Structures are given as structure tokens and as C-alpha cells.
Amino acid sequence: MTTATDPLARSINRALALPIWEGEVTATPLGGGITNLNVLVTDARRQAVVRIGDDIPVHQIMRFNELAASHAAQAAGVSPAVLYHEPGALVIDFVRGRTMTAADLRQPDLLEQALALVIRTHRDLPRHLRGPALTFWVFQVLRDYAATLTEGASRHIPLLPDLLAEADMLERAVGRIDMVFGHNDLLPGNFLHDGARMWLIDWDYAGWGSPLFDLGGLAANCGLDAAQEEWILHRYFGKAPDADLWRRYRAMKAAAALREAMWSMVQELHSELDFDYQAYTAEYLDTYRRALAATR
């Protein structure tokens, strides 16, 4: 049961109050979100997803950037249509389909579809991007997370010196980068399949950065094996990865896993959502440590 002061109830009320609906309107919460609250609204014309959320400075999420990326992703054919927006609310077309899992994306045909969306994001989306856009450099994010955790007296403070030292080592290993506009949050749950095609959603963390972050994040989040990693690198770059690319890629993959772990540590302090962030932190610390070991 929810009350008017409950975050979910507030989100549903906010979604229902938007001025775009026609006829009878109903709203139900959508599960799966671990940063925002998402509401499925049905009116006389359509079904749409309402993403409720303001800027989140502790995660460097700025909604103007999410909106610009969402419009560009729609134009590039990567993401569903943006139907409406106002401060704190973004409405996108509802895709009736299945949310992908890590096991799904380890299947060759589905992994190929997912990688095709990543490639289209990096190569086509910038042609449609309007206005200012953020950068996303994972190592700056990690340093900022460490400061946030220290200020918030996190239970993870004893881990931070070693994690930051490892992050510095990984940043040096990544070295030079090519710059693309990335999604930067390639969790399996951000891929949807409607039975005919795949979609990529949720552009909270979009920004200019290294393609290796999206490739490494996809691999870390989906538990890809070495052969699959070699396949995505070969397909993305058009040639077999050499030792230098493997070194830079593995460093960025470890950084992507560490970012997810430290993101969750920050959520432990700041999120109001009903989600087990402590378990999520532990899961991704384990993923990070395995990825870090592979860099040595």
C-alpha cells in the first residue's frame, strides 16, 4: 500500500497530472528501475512510459543531457520516441516486449543485435545531437564517487584508498582514447526486444567518452566469455584485437565494473527506491575484482 508521501505514489500522481493524456487514464508502476521511478500510463490513444526524476548531482545526471540524447537516439532509430517532457518528467513511447537479461545477451543472435545498437549509437547518434552535451570519463566519476562516499560517512570508506589507487592504474593503462558519444549504462535491462527488433533505452548517463567503456560495460554486465569479447572487439573495430587493444579494453572493462559497484555504494546513501543496493554492491565488487585480475 502506498501513501501520498511515498515516492512511488508521488510518481504516479505526477504522471497522471501531465497535460498530454486524453480520455480515461490509468497508471501502474513499472519494475526494473534502479535510478528512476518509471510509470506506465494508458489513455484513450496510447501507452507511454513516464520517467520521473530530477537532476541527480551525486551521479552527475543532468536531465537536459538525457533529453537531448533521447531525442537523438530516437532520430538514429535506436530508442523509442520521445512524446513529451517537462522538468522532472520524460514521456517515451511504450515498447511492448521483453526486457533482456544477461543470459539473453550471451546468445549470439541477441548479442549481435545489441552490439549493432551500440555501434549505431556511437556512429549515427551524434549526427542528430543538438545543443550542449556532457562528457563521461569514468575515472573522474570514480574520484567524485569516492568524495561523495567520504562526505556521507559510507560503510565503504576503508575500501576507498585501494580502489582509487587501482583506478589510477587502470586510467594509465587505458591511455589514449577515440571519442564517441556513448550510452554508458549498458545493463541488460536497458535493452528491450519487441519480437522483431531490439531497442536501447535510458540515456541518464549518456555523454562523450571512450567506446571501450560501452564495450567493456556490456561484457562485464552480461558475463561475456573471452571468445565473445574477442568477437565484439573484432566486429566493432573491423579487425582482430592486438595486444595493445586488449590491454586498454581490459582496463576499461574493470573500470566499468568498478563504476557500477561505486554507483551502488552511493545509492546506499542517497536512494529512496526499494532495492537491495548492498547486495548489488557486493555483486559488482566481485565482478570488478575478477575483471581487475584479468588486467594483470
CATH code for the domain in which residue 210 is found: 3.90.1200.10
Average pLDDT over residues 226-242: 98
User: In this structure, is residue 78 part of a structural domain?
Assistant: yes
Same domain membership, residue 166 and residue 247: yes
Task: For residue 128, tell me if it sits in a domain.
Answer: yes
Q: Identify whether the C-beta of residue 228 lies closer than 8 Å to the C-beta of residue 111.
A: yes
Are residues 272 and 153 both part of a single domain?
Answer: yes
5 pLDDT band (50/70/90 cuts)? low
- Say whether both 228 and 191 belong to one domain: yes
Q: In this structure, what C-alpha cell is assigned to residue 234? A: 573484432
Residue 89 belongs to some domain of the structure: yes
Asked if residue 183 lies in contact with residue 210, where contact means CB atoms within 8 angstroms, the answer is: no
Q: Write down the mean pLDDT value for the chain.
A: 95
Same domain, 69 and 206: no
Q: What pLDDT sits at residue 73? A: 98
Identify whether residues 30 and 156 lie together within a single domain: no
> SS in 3 state form for 275-294?
CCHHHHHHHHHHHHHHHHHC
Domain boundary among 93, 126, 156: 93
pTM, whole model, 2 decimals?
A: 0.93
Of 48, 67, 93, which residue sits at a domain end? 93
Q: What percent of the chain has pLDDT over 90?
A: 91
Q: In terms of domains, do 238 and 263 share one?
A: yes
Report if residue 116 sits inside a domain. Answer: yes
| Domain of residue 48, CATH code | 3.30.200.20
Number of CB atoms found within 10 A of residue 143's CB: 16
Under the banding of pLDDT at 50, 70 and 90, the label for residue 6 is confident
Q: Is the pLDDT of residue 263 over 90?
A: yes
Provide the residue range defining the domain that includes 18.
Answer: 7-93
Are 86 and 116 part of one and the same domain?
no
Same domain, 30 and 159: no
Quick one: 279 and 149 in the same domain? Answer: yes
- 155 with 73, same domain: the answer is no
Among residues 29, 60, 93, the one where a domain terminates is 93
Domain-located, residue 25: yes
Band (33; pLDDT cuts 50, 70, 90)? low
Average pLDDT, integer, range 4-8: 68
Residues 190 and 289 in one domain: yes
Residue 1 lies in a domain: no
Confidence of residue 34 (pLDDT cuts 50, 70, 90): low
Q: Are residues 115 and 204 in the same domain?
A: yes
- How far is C-alpha 43 from the chain's CA centre? 29
Count: domains in the chain: 2
Please state the rounded mean pLDDT for residues 31-58: 88
Span 73-100, average pLDDT: 97
